[in-house]
Amino acid sequence: MDKRYQVFVSSTYTDLVEERAEVMQALLELDCMPSGMELFPAANEEQWEWIKKVIDESDYYLVILGGRYGSISMRTGYSYTEMEYRYAIDSGKPVIGFLHENPEEIKKGKSESDPESYQKLDDFRELVSSKLCKYWSSPSDLGAKVSRSITQLIKHLPAVGWVKANSVSESTSKELLELRKKNEDLEEKLKKARVEKPEGIEELSQGEDVFTIDFVFEAKEASIGKNNKTYWKKGEIIDSEVELPWDTIFGFLGPNLITAASERWMISHLNSLIEREVWSDLAEAYPENKIDDIRIRLTTFQTIKIQLRALNLITHEGNDSNWVLTPYGENHLTNLLAVKKHNK
């Protein structure tokens, strides 16, 4: 049966008009149906639900990265191109990226001038390069590589595709409907699995189970200086510990892991949590000292990080030093912190 496949083409627009034209031509020559930016050239929050629907209906997804990051969503902090890419990955679509081979050689008018956007583009390139991708150097080179890559994707990852209504027999139509229903059921199970408690973690410490956090602090000593002024001089570095439930630790970190956060930030935030929990006790235990520089032990932080990952609450984002909530982590955080309705 003669099938046609819908391919979602994601990219910035004004800087890649010629490149997109080559890609569209390559897809049409393969009897594929391209979709993407031409349907909504000005992506915004209002159109995001429609964009996701078009991605859902597509059989394959490809992203083209040149020298621009694109307009950024105020809601997520990502460009709409990156949001589309991440959504396609999370949806389980066959995805392939096409990265400019020499971004530093792109003309000034077609490259980022804003340092923050340039860094975001660099991070996005790193994410795309960590998965299936190809490198291109010119519009014609891009078109040729898209043609070969889509041909290989269709061969090795055949999708449902589209057929003309008048070419489908009753038996074939029934078969396609059954396949589509199975596909929808599998997608629903996959989405459900992402937000439900993972199997195999029953033996891991979690929830209200208590974990001992090792930390150190400095007990500065008072000294009388000139004019009888008191100042604080360097004091003893003291080891201590505090016990907290895993849900308390996760609930404190979680809200700021909805978008990616660095390990440095996580350590700083855990230091704040420890300070909140122990400050009054330390002040009472060391009334003559000034409590300062409360710091979690690095080995303890590593244990917390590994445990939250093992519980499928957090995952890597972009590179090994950035972390973000998993879908299950978001769901668990919502159950922990969302305000419940009080029955009258």
Q: Extract the tokens encoding 8.
A: 């979602």
Q: Extract the tokens encoding 328.
A: 């299950």
The domain that holds 124 is classified in CATH as 3.40.50.10140
Q: Are residues 240 and 157 in the same domain?
A: no
Do 101 and 137 meet the contact criterion of CB atoms below 8 Å apart? yes
Chain segment 157-193, per-residue pLDDT in tens: 888 888 766 665 666 667 667 777 777 766 666 565 5
User: Read out DSSP for 43-74?
Assistant: --GGGHHHHHHHHHH-SEEEEEE-B----B-T
Do 65 and 23 meet the contact criterion of CB atoms below 8 Å apart? no
Report yes or no on 195 lying in a domain: no
User: How many Cα atoms within 13 Å fall on the side-chain side of residue 295?
Assistant: 12
Return the minimum-mean-pLDDT range out of 159-163, 270-274, 318-322: 318-322
Q: CA 147, CA 59: separation in Å to the nearest integer?
A: 15
Q: Are residues 98 and 158 in the same domain?
A: yes
Chain segment 96-132, per-residue pLDDT in tens: 999 999 988 888 888 888 889 999 999 999 999 988 9
Report yes or no on 194 lying in a domain: no
Q: Are residues 109 and 223 in the same domain?
A: no
Chain segment 198-236, per-residue pLDDT in tens: 777 888 999 999 999 999 999 998 888 777 787 788 889
Q: CA 62, CA 318: separation in Å to the nearest integer?
A: 18
Do 324 and 259 meet the contact criterion of CB atoms below 8 Å apart? yes
No. of helices (H) and no. of strands (E), the chain = 10, 11
Q: If you count them, how many residues does the chain have? A: 344
Report yes or no on 71 lying in a domain: yes
Q: Are residues 265 and 148 in the same domain?
A: no
Which residue range(s) make up the domain with 36?
6-162
Q: What is the pTM of this model?
A: 0.51
Q: CA 84, CA 89: separation in Å to the nearest integer?
A: 9
Predicted local distance difference test score (pLDDT) of residue 313: 92
Q: Are residues 152 and 222 in the same domain?
A: no
Return the minimum-mean-pLDDT range out of 145-149, 295-299, 333-337: 333-337
Q: Are residues 23 and 149 in the same domain?
A: yes
Report yes or no on 81 lying in a domain: yes
pLDDT > 90? residue 260:
no
Tell how strand 314-317 and strand 319-325 pair up. Answer: antiparallel
